[in-house]
């Protein structure tokens, strides 16, 4: 009888001291024990207007090559109309972004256009997605890496700042990881069988900016310059 009682006391004590951890995980699943802290204000290391280095050729389909030849940053860049940047272009803008981890989501607040990107940690892609500029992002933790899968794009945006096109078949996978306390790396795999003959990869590095805050952004581009309909 005494042995059973002692076991009950021990089990109760274990449960009592475990409650804080259990509730913490329930309250904030996006910051589970496998999820490192990637919060903070980050700024790109180097601004790359083009995702492909000078002198290299993207694996264009004929359609995408024709679209790229028509791209003109002074005439038909969607950014001239103050439109959302799209992915991955949003992650390459030379302005700071703030990452916040909240229950069921990782939020990226980008100063450019004061855009809020939501990465859903508690669901799959919806089957009836309406196409949007930045697509539908869902994430999961793979050890210390946040793996983000994004689909559901419209065809308006460019992939970069020089005119790489895409279609509604665009599929972007990111692997975001904190390689040291002050450095974040985002590796992109871009797939769009209507625009590119094979998937391709690019990467961007960000540095932590303690004390920085996201400022108000006003898009003062002349929307009437944007001629592409």
Return the pLDDT at 156.
Answer: 97
Is residue 174 predicted with pLDDT exceeding 70?
yes
The token duo for 155 is 């065809």
Assign 71 a pLDDT band (cuts: 50, 70, 90). Answer: very high
94-105, pLDDT tens digit by residue? 999 999 999 999
Where helices occur in the chain by DSSP H, the ranges are 2-27, 62-70
Q: Mind listing the domains of the chain with CATH numbers?
A: 2-29 (no CATH), 40-225 (2.40.128.20)
The token duo for 54 is 């000078």
138-159, pLDDT tens digit by residue? 999 999 999 999 999 999 999 9
The token duo for 167 is 């279609």
Q: Are 126 and 150 in contact (CB under 8 A)?
A: no
């Amino acid at each position: 009888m005494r042995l059973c009682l002692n076991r009950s006391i021990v089990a109760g004590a274990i449960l009592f001291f475990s409650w804080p951890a259990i509730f913490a995980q329930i309250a904030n699943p996006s910051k589970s024990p496998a999820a490192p802290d990637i919060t903070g204000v980050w700024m790109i290391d180097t601004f790359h207007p083009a995702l492909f280095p000078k002198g290299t050729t993207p694996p264009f389909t004929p359609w995408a090559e024709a679209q790229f030849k028509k791209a003109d940053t002074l005439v038909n860049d969607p950014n001239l109309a103050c439109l959302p940047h799209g992915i991955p272009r949003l992650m390459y803008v030379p302005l700071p972004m703030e990452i916040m981890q909240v229950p069921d989501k990782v939020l990226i607040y980008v100063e450019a256009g004061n855009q809020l990107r939501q990465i859903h940690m508690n669901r799959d892609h919806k089957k009836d997605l309406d196409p949007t500029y930045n697509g539908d992002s869902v994430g999961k933790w793979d050890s210390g890496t946040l793996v983000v899968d994004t689909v559901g794009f419209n065809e308006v945006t460019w992939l970069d700042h020089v005119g790489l096109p895409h279609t509604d078949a665009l599929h972007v996978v990111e692997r975001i990881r904190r390689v040291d306390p002050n450095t974040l790396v985002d590796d992109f795999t871009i797939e769009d069988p209507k625009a590119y003959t094979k998937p391709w990869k690019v990467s961007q590095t960000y540095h932590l900016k303690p004390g920085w805050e996201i400022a108000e952004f006003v898009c003062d581009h002349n929307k009437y310059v944007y001629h592409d309909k």
